[in-house]
Amino acid sequence: MSVVGRMTHLPVGLKTSAVILVLMVAGGAVFGGVAGALGAAAGVGIVVASFTVSSLVIAWADSVHPTLVLPVGMVTYITKFTALGFVMAAVAGSGWDGLTALCLGVGVATIAWATAQAWWVYHARIPYVDV
């Protein structure tokens, strides 16, 4: 199976994130002005990029050999969250007005994506044994 064929879950997360993006940007604009809107958009964008990169890397590892999924996934996870920590520390140190909206965007989008993916997995017909 190709890498693309292994990512049938991705559209659900992307569509959910599009809805969350619209809602978060509107809320950010109302409560925080332009900085709030930009912060909310950046937060949702970070989550979309993070989950999409993970999906691509894990699908690639699975296409090469299934035993690579765990180590490659863990390295990707550690790398992403280390980079996110440095970025968030830099943004927090800058005193930017959109920081709260950014954090809310990350939190809400993460919960929405995880919920959408859990819903997809629950409804997907995935054989758990080789047929």
Q: Does residue 108 sit within a domain? A: yes
In a domain? residue 69: yes
Count, residues in the chain? 131
Nearest CA-CA partner of 68 in 58, 77, 78, 56: 58
Closest Cα partner for 43 from 58, 32, 55, 57? 32
pLDDT of residue 6: 80
Answer whether residue 42 is part of any domain.
yes
Mean pLDDT over the full length of the chain = 93
Q: What is the pLDDT of residues 65-98, one digit of tens each?
A: 999 999 999 999 999 999 999 999 999 999 999 9
Q: Is residue 3 predicted with pLDDT exceeding 80? A: no
Q: Is residue 129 part of a domain?
A: no
The model's pTM is: 0.89
Range of the domain at 113: 4-122
Residue 131: the pLDDT is 65
Total domains, the chain: 1
pLDDT at 1 over 80: no
